[in-house]
Chain A
């Protein structure tokens, strides 16, 4: 029997397949289904500080609008005793999930203000989350902001959060850093226990008929895995941090690739959104089958086996494709 267990952020997980941050986790029943399907942990949907602030201000705006203006209609809505426009429902959900499932629950946070990051991180810990993944989602459009300033800000932020909480902390990274290894190292130095590679940003599309910019959710394709795969392979063994691969995992084979490159776990979202939680069970079966077929004994055994430090040709991970093609052509002995 193959041993699928792995360790991630100090947690012992029964297998390397984790459900990543998505709307699935908004309902306890769904998370239960993921657990039943075999997920070894769940990363909750992100708590967006910006959304909380927006909801709160929007509610205030619309409840105030038009009030105390016309004598017959001094208000337009009943005013309730309480509104869930803070993080309460998210925190309640963490508690409910902890009460309902056995597998670890990892909180996910996207803040917008320094105070917000720290405050919500603490609350998520207090609510009982086993770990916290910081979702640093931002599109920097400020032409005067240097890469160093941007990175320094993030590092300072992560340090503050690290000081504030005791549960394991991971960062969901985007690939758009000038020197990704340096940035990753700084994060680890700041006390981060894990790195999740990579965040997929929703990119807006253009409707040429209506001449409008439209938001568009595109689920990942298998090709999306290549980028995080490369970087995990490069990072493995060189950073004191666990690695998680997210984006483009669609099959058991993909999970194995991720583990071999050096990831402790592989995260799924698009595949689950496309095919439902049952797909997860199928993927686990695929992993079992592959490992049995290839006579691998355990996940631990193959963990990082194909990372840069461990492969035959480490430079393959560093060069862009065309270089390899040329080199291979050049390397051919012509007779």
Chain B
């Protein structure tokens, strides 16, 4: 039977199998597994059937815990059910996994194995999550490649149905889940051949049904629980053989032969490595290479990790083995050894004791850790482990791939060692995020894989920034199969492409180039001019390595052909032409064919512009004549300025220039705590245009500064004398602030930090009366302004911060006199969330503690190398932490409990020590009015005095109080997160925290979708909007979180939209903080996942309010005591239609474009939703609040 060779990543390959073998799929998105669920959802929406001819039902749950519960429920009633997850999500499933295994239920969970959040969160791959689940009783099957992932997905399903043991099938997150490779696709017939329908019926028959009622999940006592737990022994004993049987059957169908433990290498190997996952491929290829040079090495790939068959492992080990190294891709602090190591040691000892081990003398056994969080695991590292085993005293509990200069666990390795085949072509592409580079490369791999007999592999490295990021694509192709789950190494790349000219200043990309290779540069300079614009280091490398150097002005071609900033098809055409992997004409034909296939559905105009781009490319591709000398005056920039603090220079700077791998263990903080305010040192220069201020037109309203997502446009009011040393181009104008008469005023832009989003321009209300298109700020090219404005910025930052007590922050313009302590984040240009955080940092930053949920805000808020939460000149600023996703409200409550308890304790101590400290001081401290900045400032002074007095005291209680004293200055606790957290996974905790009545401020940055993981629907997603898992448009209305919170009656609730009413937003923030109880602000955050021109984000906020879909209101319980209705509706009745708002956004529009009938139905319901809500709110706001005591008094 002829099977198709296809090119895809493991997520897609696994999803294809799991989808066809299941009936119910319950999921929750989490990187890097989200893709599997998304595929399942898309196929279900398209009506694609499983092998039994029915369409699987896909349901998104509120958390992985919920998904596991739903899966358990579906399984226990007889469905074939699956789920996809990773990392924290898998942890949340553990309780149900125990149940599912305890009830001997057939299922396969597919996991793209990922690190667990410990000292830090990581989205990248290792085995921490799956090994944390190893005690649940699930069988565990590991895949090491894309082909295996597909194959094991089927084998696992066959095995689980026969054995009744549930399976956890896993493969390395990112390294395998996102690697594109060419594999043989399993057909429906293959799937049917492997699955025994009688087992399916048996599974169904075991399902709970009133037609054959039984009870499950009984509570048991000491008399029988133990015995009940031991009943499954025969099932676990039989399982390994069942798995091997399934593998053998699979082999007979496909020719691919797998074993529970697969040995490869010299039959008389003396040194053997035991490993599972993609690392096994690396070790196997390394062993092959070294064996060809005469070594005797072997590798055992662990496929079936649980049940761990001692018998099968021992059979796999050659009798000649003298040394064994066991590799774990996880860390278990405090254990005698990592999980696989412990299992193998147990197996070997048992075997040896029983006499079933193949060797007579116990080999030397060492274990080590590698590859945590997708740390590279290369042949050089594998070799170093093999070499270590040669030593008399090989290092045990080693690490490899890092430099451990603290506890000296690391092995040395030779970074130059390479086993790359000369026949394989290796290409690296540096692209600008979203310019199409990665998409083009994925497509190239597909073309090469599917249209030639070559093997092909693609792996893509992304940045932690959400805009202006660097992508690095690693492509390999050639006649030999590619088993290389590691990046292309230094000096190994035949082809290096740089798709963004200014990357040359930031990254040493030509170190990857092999001598005689090709360098393709996207350059606005022509072939004759470009040389002098290159940094000297680049020139030198081109000369030394004798590279063939090509340039193309891809942006010009893109502009001319209507491609905008997308240079994908242009660069792809050049790549094929230069690499010669296909004849030029054929390559162009293939590219055009895939353009039609991929983009045809988006319309002829799109296809045509891509064709035009392809056709125009080669004429613009030119080879550069390389001079003999490197003559450039330009050098590569250092990643951070010389003035940066040591930690920033030595550690973060290395990370910024892609040298982070070289940092030793000692460079990292021991507990994951990092210094604040580091983004100020990373000047990204990603804006093509920046705002330019026209002082004469400016009305000093503060709106530009208010809406800026990145804190790159700021204002200051200051004394005129300070202008004496101002740079020549520094602008200023008489200030219009009554608080400081005779002062000067400046609006200043940070040119190197601005992203060019243009929201400030949109917000500016001041227009030139003679030229309406000209405002008080206008965009202009950044490059000519960079130097002068940098100097102006530096001068501006040196001006004194306005005194916080001078400007009462109750107006928008005054609020912007406060220094932002959240700046230059890596959020998307024009982000709708960040202005709210910046505002909070201005109002409360110097006394603020923040619990931040996982999501966009924790990524742009805390992703290394640099983070935006900062500090003021006194060194104070927001203290910020991200714990998890599901626990964020509780995490913040815990912070409040500490502050409350410490305040209580400090108060007790103050009173006890008042004699010594002075009655007046103690009274003043305890009775301080800290309701405004002046009050807080005064309290700071008192606390300083207090600390001075305590320092000289001999009373032991003084030391206690000294360690607590700072808490006496009022603190503001903020609990921040997106709608995914607040409406879904964290809702249970949020609800409890609201109910608890403590003084916390909750800020929900509501983008109405899971933005960070790529747009999955949440319960906040509005009706008629399209999102992943709501591909047909969300059929149910948006959850009204505000209404639910109001039901408590003692929670301050506000719904705000800064683009619609900035003053209202400001008022809500101040009232929330002032309210001595739980407050929740739900803030409309426009987002890239709405599919809008981000520059129109504020306008869309206006429209959202104007159409009534986002009413602005404040519910202030404090008004109840005054006999007033606590609910104030702050926006007007709808004045425009919902469509006028919604159809500006792709998330609504795309439904109209794909299913007009459904769009109409849902939009009609959406209109009714608005009417219903207004009807309710209107009446709620009119309710009389005089009852009980108040009413009696009046009567």
Is B614 interfacial (CB 8 A cutoff)? no
Contact-residue bracket for chain B: 35 or more
Contact segment of B155-163, B205-213, B840-848, B1148-1156: B1148-1156
Inter-chain contacts of B434 with A (CB < 8 A):
64-69
Tell whether, in the assembled complex, residue A78 and residue B828 are in contact, meaning their CB atoms are under 8 Å apart: no
Inter-chain contacts of A78 with B (CB < 8 A):
38, 41-42, 45, 1026-1028, 1031
User: How long is the Cα–Cα vector from A72 to B466 in the complex, in angstroms?
Assistant: 10
User: How long is the Cα–Cα vector from A58 to B460 in the complex, in angstroms?
Assistant: 27
Q: Which of A60, A69, A212 contacts B606 (CB 8 A)?
A: A60
User: How long is the Cα–Cα vector from A306 to B1146 in the complex, in angstroms?
Assistant: 53
Tell whether, in the assembled complex, residue A66 and residue B1154 are in contact, meaning their CB atoms are under 8 Å apart: no
Inter-chain contacts of B606 with A (CB < 8 A):
56-57, 59-60
A to B CB contacts below 8 Å, 15 in the list:
A52-B603, A56-B602, A58-B1146, A64-B566, A68-B439, A69-B463, A71-B462, A72-B1014, A74-B35, A76-B1014, A78-B45, A78-B1028, A83-B1154, A84-B1154, A211-B772
Q: Could you give, for residues 1002-1013 of chain B, a 1 whenever the CB lies within 8 Å of some chain A CB and a 0 otherwise? A: 000000000111
Given A60-B602, A68-B460, A69-B471, do A77 and B1088 touch, yes or no (CB 8 Å)? Answer: no
User: How long is the Cα–Cα vector from A24 to B309 in the complex, in angstroms?
Assistant: 74
Q: Could you give, for residues 818-834 of chain B, a 1 whenever the CB lies within 8 Å of some chain A CB and a 0 otherwise? A: 00000000001000000
Is B564 interfacial (CB 8 A cutoff)? yes
Q: Which of B174, B564, B603, B1089 contacts A55 (CB 8 A)?
A: B603
Tell whether, in the assembled complex, residue B772 and residue A68 are in contact, meaning their CB atoms are under 8 Å apart: no
Inter-chain contacts of B1146 with A (CB < 8 A):
58-59, 62-63, 77
- Across the interface, name the chain A residue whose C-beta is closest to B440: A68
- Across the interface, name the chain B residue whose C-beta is closest to A89: B1156
Nearest-Cβ distance from residue A232 to partner chain B, whole angstroms:
38
Inter-chain contacts of B41 with A (CB < 8 A):
78
User: How long is the Cα–Cα vector from A73 to B1027 in the complex, in angstroms?
Assistant: 13
User: How long is the Cα–Cα vector from A84 to B45 in the complex, in angstroms?
Assistant: 17
Tell whether, in the assembled complex, residue B1091 and residue A65 are in contact, meaning their CB atoms are under 8 Å apart: yes
Tell whether, in the assembled complex, residue B564 and residue A61 are in contact, meaning their CB atoms are under 8 Å apart: yes
Inter-chain contacts of A56 with B (CB < 8 A):
602-606
Tell whether, in the assembled complex, residue B603 and residue A85 are in contact, meaning their CB atoms are under 8 Å apart: yes
Tell whether, in the assembled complex, residue B433 and residue A80 are in contact, meaning their CB atoms are under 8 Å apart: no
- Across the interface, name the chain A residue whose C-beta is closest to B859: A72
- Across the interface, name the chain B residue whose C-beta is closest to A86: B603
Inter-chain contacts of A59 with B (CB < 8 A):
602-603, 606, 1146, 1149-1150, 1153
User: How long is the Cα–Cα vector from A55 to B1150 in the complex, in angstroms?
Assistant: 10
User: How long is the Cα–Cα vector from A38 to B464 in the complex, in angstroms?
Assistant: 65
Is A53 interfacial (CB 8 A cutoff)? yes
- Across the interface, name the chain A residue whose C-beta is closest to B441: A68
Tell whether, in the assembled complex, residue A82 and residue B1154 are in contact, meaning their CB atoms are under 8 Å apart: yes
Tell whether, in the assembled complex, residue A69 and residue B1028 are in contact, meaning their CB atoms are under 8 Å apart: no
- Across the interface, name the chain A residue whose C-beta is closest to B1015: A76
Is A70 interfacial (CB 8 A cutoff)? yes
Inter-chain contacts of B603 with A (CB < 8 A):
52-53, 55-57, 59-60, 83, 85-86
Q: Which of B38, B45, B599, B1013 contacts A72 (CB 8 A)?
A: B1013
Inter-chain contacts of A99 with B (CB < 8 A):
none
Nearest-Cβ distance from residue B561 to partner chain A, whole angstroms:
12
Tell whether, in the assembled complex, residue B601 and residue A80 are in contact, meaning their CB atoms are under 8 Å apart: yes
Nearest-Cβ distance from residue A217 to partner chain B, whole angstroms:
14
Is B465 interfacial (CB 8 A cutoff)? yes
Extra contacts besides A71-B462, A73-B1013, A76-B1014 (18): CB < 8 Å = A59-B1153, A61-B564, A66-B434, A68-B433, A68-B439, A69-B438, A69-B462, A69-B466, A70-B466, A71-B31, A73-B1012, A73-B1014, A76-B1088, A77-B1026, A77-B1091, A78-B41, A82-B601, A86-B603
Tell whether, in the assembled complex, residue A57 and residue B1031 are in contact, meaning their CB atoms are under 8 Å apart: no
Given A56-B602, A68-B433, do A77 and B1153 touch, yes or no (CB 8 Å)? Answer: no
User: How long is the Cα–Cα vector from A294 to B521 in the complex, in angstroms?
Assistant: 82
Is B731 interfacial (CB 8 A cutoff)? no
User: How long is the Cα–Cα vector from A53 to B606 in the complex, in angstroms?
Assistant: 8
Inter-chain contacts of B471 with A (CB < 8 A):
68-69
Is A75 interfacial (CB 8 A cutoff)? yes
Tell me whether chain B's interface is mostly helix, strand or loop, or mixed: mixed
Which B residues have a C-beta under 8 Å from some C-beta of A?
Answer: 31-32, 34-35, 38, 41-42, 45-46, 123, 174, 433-434, 436-439, 460, 462-467, 469, 471, 562, 564, 566, 599, 601-606, 609, 767, 769, 772, 828, 859, 1011-1015, 1026-1028, 1031, 1088-1089, 1091-1092, 1146-1147, 1149-1150, 1153-1154, 1156
Is A330 interfacial (CB 8 A cutoff)? no
Nearest-Cβ distance from residue A62 to partner chain B, whole angstroms:
4
- Across the interface, name the chain B residue whose C-beta is closest to A58: B1146
Is A81 interfacial (CB 8 A cutoff)? yes
Which among A53, A62, A74 has the greatest number of chain B C-beta atoms within 10 A? A74
Tell whether, in the assembled complex, residue B1089 and residue A52 are in contact, meaning their CB atoms are under 8 Å apart: no
Inter-chain contacts of B1156 with A (CB < 8 A):
84, 89
User: How long is the Cα–Cα vector from A80 to B1154 in the complex, in angstroms?
Assistant: 8
Which A residues have a C-beta under 8 Å from some C-beta of B?
Answer: 52-53, 55-86, 89, 211-212
Inter-chain contacts of B438 with A (CB < 8 A):
68-69
Q: Which of B436, B1013, B1091 contacts A62 (CB 8 A)?
A: B1091
Nearest-Cβ distance from residue A14 to partner chain B, whole angstroms:
32
Nearest-Cβ distance from residue B403 to partner chain A, whole angstroms:
25
Tell whether, in the assembled complex, residue A73 and residue B602 are in contact, meaning their CB atoms are under 8 Å apart: no
Tell whether, in the assembled complex, residue B1091 and residue A68 are in contact, meaning their CB atoms are under 8 Å apart: no
Inter-chain contacts of B1026 with A (CB < 8 A):
77-78
Nearest-Cβ distance from residue B565 to partner chain A, whole angstroms:
9
Given A56-B603, A70-B463, A84-B1153, do A76 and B1091 touch, yes or no (CB 8 Å)? Answer: yes
Inter-chain contacts of A73 with B (CB < 8 A):
1011-1015
Tell whether, in the assembled complex, residue A212 and residue B31 are in contact, meaning their CB atoms are under 8 Å apart: no
Inter-chain contacts of A83 with B (CB < 8 A):
601-603, 1150, 1153-1154
User: How long is the Cα–Cα vector from A85 to B607 in the complex, in angstroms?
Assistant: 12
Inter-chain contacts of B38 with A (CB < 8 A):
78
8 closest cross-chain pairs (CB), A and B: A56-B603, A69-B433, A73-B1014, A68-B438, A71-B462, A62-B1091, A62-B1146, A85-B603
- Across the interface, name the chain B residue whose C-beta is closest to A49: B605
- Across the interface, name the chain A residue whose C-beta is closest to B772: A211
User: How long is the Cα–Cα vector from A53 to B1028 in the complex, in angstroms?
Assistant: 26
Inter-chain contacts of A79 with B (CB < 8 A):
42
Tell whether, in the assembled complex, residue A71 and residue B123 are in contact, meaning their CB atoms are under 8 Å apart: yes
- Across the interface, name the chain B residue whose C-beta is closest to A72: B31
Tell whether, in the assembled complex, residue B1011 and residue A69 are in contact, meaning their CB atoms are under 8 Å apart: no
Q: Which of B32, B45, B1012, B1015 contacts A75 (CB 8 A)?
A: B1015
User: How long is the Cα–Cα vector from A73 to B1087 in the complex, in angstroms?
Assistant: 13
Nearest-Cβ distance from residue A267 to partner chain B, whole angstroms:
27
Tell whether, in the assembled complex, residue A69 and residue B467 are in contact, meaning their CB atoms are under 8 Å apart: yes
Tell whether, in the assembled complex, residue A70 and residue B1015 are in contact, meaning their CB atoms are under 8 Å apart: no
Tell whether, in the assembled complex, residue A70 and residue B469 are in contact, meaning their CB atoms are under 8 Å apart: yes
User: How long is the Cα–Cα vector from A60 to B35 in the complex, in angstroms?
Assistant: 21
Inter-chain contacts of B437 with A (CB < 8 A):
68
Nearest-Cβ distance from residue A23 to partner chain B, whole angstroms:
13
User: How long is the Cα–Cα vector from A84 to B1159 in the complex, in angstroms?
Assistant: 13
User: How long is the Cα–Cα vector from A66 to B1089 in the complex, in angstroms?
Assistant: 9
Tell whether, in the assembled complex, residue A68 and residue B465 are in contact, meaning their CB atoms are under 8 Å apart: no
Which among B123, B460, B1088 has the greatest number of chain A C-beta atoms within 10 A? B1088
- Across the interface, name the chain B residue whose C-beta is closest to A67: B434
Given A56-B602, A57-B562, A68-B437, do A74 and B1014 touch, yes or no (CB 8 Å)? Answer: yes
Inter-chain contacts of B463 with A (CB < 8 A):
69-70
Tell whether, in the assembled complex, residue A65 and residue B1014 are in contact, meaning their CB atoms are under 8 Å apart: no
Inter-chain contacts of A66 with B (CB < 8 A):
433-434, 466-467, 828, 1088
Inter-chain contacts of B1028 with A (CB < 8 A):
77-78
User: How long is the Cα–Cα vector from A168 to B41 in the complex, in angstroms?
Assistant: 48
Inter-chain contacts of A61 with B (CB < 8 A):
564
User: How long is the Cα–Cα vector from A63 to B603 in the complex, in angstroms?
Assistant: 13
Inter-chain contacts of A53 with B (CB < 8 A):
603, 605
Inter-chain contacts of A72 with B (CB < 8 A):
31, 34, 123, 859, 1012-1014
Nearest-Cβ distance from residue A214 to partner chain B, whole angstroms:
12
Inter-chain contacts of B466 with A (CB < 8 A):
66, 69-70
